[in-house]
Amino acid sequence: MSAVKISIIGAGSAIFSLRLVGDLCKTKGLSGSLVSLMDIDEKRLNAVHELAKRYAAELGADIKFEKTTNMKRSLEDADFVINTALVGGHEQQEAIRRVGEKHGYYRGIDSQEFNMVSDYYTLTNYNQLKYFLDVARNMEKLCPNAWLLQAANPVFEGTTLISRQTNIKVVGFCHGHYGVNRIAETIGLPLEEVDWQVAGFNHNIWLTRFIYKGKDAYPHIDRWIEDKAKEWKPTTPFDDQMSPAAIDMYRFYGKFPVGDTVRNGSWKYHYDLETKKKWFGEPWGGADSEVGWAWYQEELQKATKKTFSLAADKSVRLSKEFPPNKMSGEQHVGFMDALINDNRGRFVDNIPNEGEIIPGIPEDVVVEVPVIVDKKGIHPEKIDPPISERIMKMYLLPRRLRMEWALDAFITGDKRILHEMLVRDPRTRSFEQVEAVVDEILSLPFNREMKEHYGGKK
């Protein structure tokens, strides 16, 4: 049993925090640990703190909690830091999107080829990336040996930035790879008997290995496409793993896209709502259409409301709301348990491509790959068979370039990089349009610091 201190930054994200708390309570090896909940929104923080304490007490777990609005206090002597904060929240992202749409950029300027996820901003996310670095730089002073588990987006850009600019051990987490479960379940294969690998970047991963009983299992997918794909209908906007978009990407790239990768194809699937409906199904047109995203925002608001009402009503048994006998499916707690207690596990993590885990990608770019974690550290699997040339040339390399451009813009403050990214955007009709949209976004009140940063060079 090893007690540790875990700091959760942005802990007011209730569902996420309670999932972690639940997993911690069920992990004997981490008994006695202290969880430091940190958020700038006191109302959310108080509610999550109250629920976390009550839930742990109901489960009879020996986990202590503290709450603070002070990031540095939370980081002091932490062993693990989980960053899930969204600076400015969804409201500010919507404000930025509205300006983009006003200037002719459907779904906003951050919706870019190979990255259409509606809360994964890369061009206008100065405040968020700055906060990522603030957390990591404060960790260098206050808990230099701690691990940073990066959950907030953009995971690909953020983990690459932190690993390049600080000495902190950073690992990115995402649950997108669970798309493999969905594929296996849909085509009727028991996942535990399937030998699978995924590889790529965060939100850009591909099913590179798929073997059942010693044989290639892709023909099972082909049969499902042949016999059943026509009957497919989404149950929610996020139910896209077996959508026409995924099948079309599979046909072009030769391997199945997994998880959020399906949301991140080229413009072919995203020109407008009608196009999105064709590829991601009716009535939403996928999670990232105006209809699908409105559905998601409503769900988030309902969840926040529910958090407040559960926190206020002490008579509610939380173990009814959050099943006590099941792990949440998030990887964070299992990862910590593996590192601390040598409870070996397989995870899909975002780590620097050191040792060329994916050949052809520089070692200082973060890749998302299966890894084995134990007390000695993180051991990436050999990606076998390797990623195909088609995926490398048509998908991963252009996606990587967009990451590099976004980080160059953020680091140098050279507005012309943002301009040039938009010049390369199929929605752009003139350079005046480009200048106007960037200037108006920089003039939003919450972007004052970003405007100053980008003011140096014209």
The residues assigned a catalytic role are 175, 260
- In the complex with ligand NAD, the residue whose CB is nearer, 27 or 159, is 159
* Closer residue to ligand NAD (CB): 72 or 416: 72
Task: Please state the closest distance from residue 429 (CB atom) to ligand NAD, in A.
Answer: 30
Q: In the bound complex, what is the minimum distance in angstroms from residue 193's beta carbon to ligand NAD?
A: 26
Q: Which is nearer to ligand NAD, 81 or 199 (CB)?
A: 81
Shortest spacing between CB 296 and ligand NAD, in angstroms: 9
* Binding residues for ligand NAD (CB under 6 A): 9-10, 12-13, 16, 38-41, 44, 84-87, 89-90, 119-120, 131, 151-153, 155, 173-175, 300
**84 versus 197: smaller Cβ distance to ligand NAD:** 84
Residue 122's CB is within 10 A of a number of other CB atoms, namely: 26
CB of 340 to ligand NAD, least distance (A): 22
The token pair at 345 is 């596990």
**Beta carbon nearer to ligand NAD, 87 or 99:** 87
To ligand NAD, the closest distance from the beta carbon of 299 in angstroms equals: 10
- The residue of the chain with the least Cβ separation from ligand NAD equals 12
